[in-house]
Structure 1
Amino acid sequence: MQRRDLLLGGLAAASAPWTLAQALEKPKVTIAVGGKNLFYYLPLTIAEQMGYFKAEGLDVNIVDFAGGSRALQAVVGGSADVVSGAFEHTINMHAKGQPMRAFVLQGAAPQIVLGVNPKTMPNFKSVADLKGKKIGVTAPGSSTNVMVNFVLAKAGLKPSDVSIVGVGAANGAVAAMRAGQIDAISNLDPVITLLQRSGDLRIISDTRVLAEAEKVFGGPMPAGCLYAPQPFLDKHPQTAQALVNAMVRANKWIQQAGPGEIIRVVPESYLLGDRAVYIDGFLAAQKALSPDGLFPAKGPQTAFNALASVEPKLPKVDLNAIYTNDLVKKAMARYPKG
């Protein structure tokens, strides 16, 4: 811990002139997240635990919810400022006339894994076999639910052909599978690796692998990111830039980190009682995390196509209005090495 304390002190000292020179409009920021322990949101935890937010003059309060849709509701309801969640929510919100913009990427691929329960579906042969079954997701309406809908649609099934069950993103999800309460699950690491190692999961689709994610979605599919209502970004540009600075540093640190370093930084509760499983999960997820925070140019169109495939009435939206790379580029210029 001494090394980390020294590092935090150095970060704060090095960043003090920057934070003094750039007055933050809103130093206290509340970020809503759905399943903070997931590798999907690891950059958020690293930015918090390594002191990157504090080094930018921010006092960040992270509120954890059962899934991304709940986190989004917190911002819509005014109890949080920013969402750490799935990119595709920005499309849905624009379609509803509530413009939100993503401004720093955490995940280069969704990292969502869809798998069946070997106990309740020992004879599973294809996605069509899921008709009439119970599928666990982090929370109804979340990105894990979108993944299910997308895979079902490609197999000719409708969302109404299955029963969606919210199981969260931690031990509750693991218990639901092991008890046979659900027939399949759409979730993320470390939940997936834990179930896989204990023989309680047979994987159907794995978007932790960049190549497979692009094959599933037909292109680069941006995943976890920070997004906020457009009025928040307009009113608090320096605050948004400070958030991005911290996240870009976290992204870069993760790419250079080893499993042992990750274990030392994240809270003990993230390990779900098994350090070896957490290490395996990190190694599986590391390449699916964004190396720099930039959104891929073709990503927004891929996300729109994925949503439109399961929501045929989804109206067209201005894809340039749902994200920006401007703040990330400024952060990369300031912190070229992380």
Structure 2
Amino acid sequence: MERKPMSSITLTRRTLLAVSTAAALFGLAATPAAAQKAEKPSLTLGVGGKPLLYYLPLTIAEQKGFFKEEGLDVTINDFGGGAKSLQALIGGSIDAVTGAYEHTIRMQAKGQDIVSVIELGRYPGIVLVVQKDKAAKLKTIADLKGAKIGVTAPGSSTNFFVDFLLAKNGLKPSDVSYIGVGGGASAVAQMKRGEIDAMANLDPVITKLESDGDVTVLADTRTEEGNQKIFGGTNPAAVLYLKRDFVEANPVTTQKLTNAFYKALKWLEKASPDDVANVVPPEYLLGERALYVAAVKASKPTYSQTGVIPESGMKNALNMLVEFDPELKSATIDLPKTFDGRFVKKAAETIK
């Protein structure tokens, strides 16, 4: 038998030692995320109004099986609004939230370290409408003084949006009355019955009311033009956010969650409105498939194309909150801490 020179054997052993050492040192980088087991494969995710198109990437990730592809068993708790899902995260009853980016800023000001890991919406997609019978009197934002305004839930992103518009027009949040109406059939019914004067909500609720001729639009953030006019550019909407200590303790789980949402964004990028209608639960269509398809078409530009929150978007979100929130006016906010881009960067490198 031919024997290898001692130098070859030594080199081979050294190479193996170097490789094994690198694997031990670099952990996540040494092994593909898909091959790693999540630290917490069963987890609970909160959302405030899952049927809303604002949260469509979540429904796509669920319905297309992207969570399961990543080895995750995700239980979704649908709360009455974004503020309630945030409370559940802070209270420890859920592990992650699909919710508004603004909450990461507000929580930092309150000493709570909440971090987003992927942007799902680059535009809020929120629309402020007035009831058709009151449109003659409520022609501008300034006319809303004393009005009853429906929002998905007090303290939610729809509430913040109205607060911002009021402040830009010389009014305070206390100048109106807020009523939580949710994000589905109940919101539509309350507007149709005239129980509220105006409402900030999202699709498919808005497209349903517009189609039926029940409302007049005062402000619309579903388009690039609308966001430019209102915010001066993009304004991050829905994101996946978690407590930072959860992210640090569960990096593989966080990566797999991010991967699932990134797959959903890539699927949405190519999908037609009809494709979306075929995937979502039938009850999301509100009994009118054609209307739902129209709503998806209207909201499709709102979804993030990269999953990355741009610095300009972070600044626009902070500027919006500072406009009406005295606590934030005096707070020092470190915006880079609100978004950890490592996970979506890795998702983009591995998912095509």
TM-score range, shorter chain: over 0.9
Residue of structure 2 in register with 1:304 after alignment: 318
Give distance in 2, aligned partners of 1:134 and 1:126.
15
Give distance in 2, aligned partners of 1:307 and 1:19.
36
Q: State whether structure 2 residue 121 is matched by structure 1 residue 129.
A: no
- 1:215 Cα deviation (Å)? 2.3
Give distance in 2, aligned partners of 1:81 and 1:287.
29
Contact between 1:120 and 1:180, CA under 8 Å: does it hold in 2? no
Instruction: Report runs of 4+ in structure 1 exceeding 6 Å deviation.
Output: none
Give distance in 2, aligned partners of 1:167 and 1:19.
41
Q: State whether structure 2 residue 286 is matched by structure 1 residue 265.
A: no
Q: State whether structure 2 residue 83 is matched by structure 1 residue 69.
A: yes
Contact between 1:75 and 1:83, CA under 8 Å: does it hold in 2? yes
Q: Could you say what secondary structure the match of 2:323 adopts?
A: helix
Tell me which of 99, 102, 109 is aligned to 1:85: 99
- 1:121 Cα deviation (Å)? 3.7
Give distance in 2, aligned partners of 1:266 and 1:96.
36
Residue of structure 1 in register with 2:220 after alignment: 206
Deviations 1:57-89 (A, max 9, x none): 000111101110011111111111101000000
- 1:210 Cα deviation (Å)? 1.9
Give distance in 1, aligned partners of 2:34 and 2:257.
15
Q: Could you say what secondary structure the match of 2:246 adopts?
A: helix
Give distance in 2, aligned partners of 1:121 and 1:166.
21
Q: State whether structure 2 residue 281 is matched by structure 1 residue 241.
A: no
Q: State whether structure 2 residue 109 is matched by structure 1 residue 95.
A: yes
Name which of structure 1's ranges 312-321 and 326-335 shifts more when overlaid on structure 2: 312-321
- 1:225 Cα deviation (Å)? 0.6
Tell me which of 242, 255, 274 is aligned to 1:228: 242
Q: State whether structure 2 residue 336 is matched by structure 1 residue 320.
A: yes
Contact between 2:33 and 2:252, CA under 8 Å: does it hold in 1? no
Q: State whether structure 2 residue 296 is matched by structure 1 residue 282.
A: yes
Q: State whether structure 2 residue 181 is matched by structure 1 residue 167.
A: yes
Q: State whether structure 2 residue 185 is matched by structure 1 residue 182.
A: no
Deviations 1:12-63 (A, max 9, x none): xxxxx95662121110111100010011110111011001110000001111
Give distance in 1, aligned partners of 2:34 and 2:242.
25
Q: Could you say what secondary structure the match of 2:75 adopts?
A: strand
Contact between 2:38 and 2:252, CA under 8 Å: does it hold in 1? yes
Give distance in 2, aligned partners of 1:262 and 1:125.
35
- 1:212 Cα deviation (Å)? 1.3
Tell me which of 29, 49, 56 is aligned to 1:42: 56
Q: 5+ residue gaps in structure 2?
A: 1-30
Contact between 1:19 and 1:57, CA under 8 Å: does it hold in 2? no
Deviations 1:214-236 (A, max 9, x none): 32112320000100111110110
Contact between 1:112 and 1:188, CA under 8 Å: does it hold in 2? yes
Give distance in 2, aligned partners of 1:215 and 1:131.
22
Letter in 2 for 1:301: K
Deviations 1:83-132 (A, max 9, x none): 10000000010100011000011101000000111123433221111000
Aligned residues: 320
Q: Could you say what secondary structure the match of 1:180 adopts?
A: coil
Deviations 1:170-196 (A, max 9, x none): 000000100000000000000000000
Letter in 2 for 1:125: K
Q: Share of identical aligned residues, percent? A: 50
Residue of structure 2 in register with 1:3 after alignment: none
Q: State whether structure 2 residue 231 is matched by structure 1 residue 217.
A: yes
Tell me which of 185, 188, 208 is aligned to 1:194: 208
Q: State whether structure 2 residue 334 is matched by structure 1 residue 334.
A: no
Give distance in 1, aligned partners of 2:68 and 2:270.
21
Larger radius of gyration: 2
What TM-score, normalized to structure 1? 0.92
Deviations 1:115-158 (A, max 9, x none): 11112343322111100010000000000000000011111000
Give distance in 1, aligned partners of 2:309 and 2:80.
26
Q: Could you say what secondary structure the match of 1:313 adopts?
A: helix
Give distance in 1, aligned partners of 2:64 and 2:250.
24
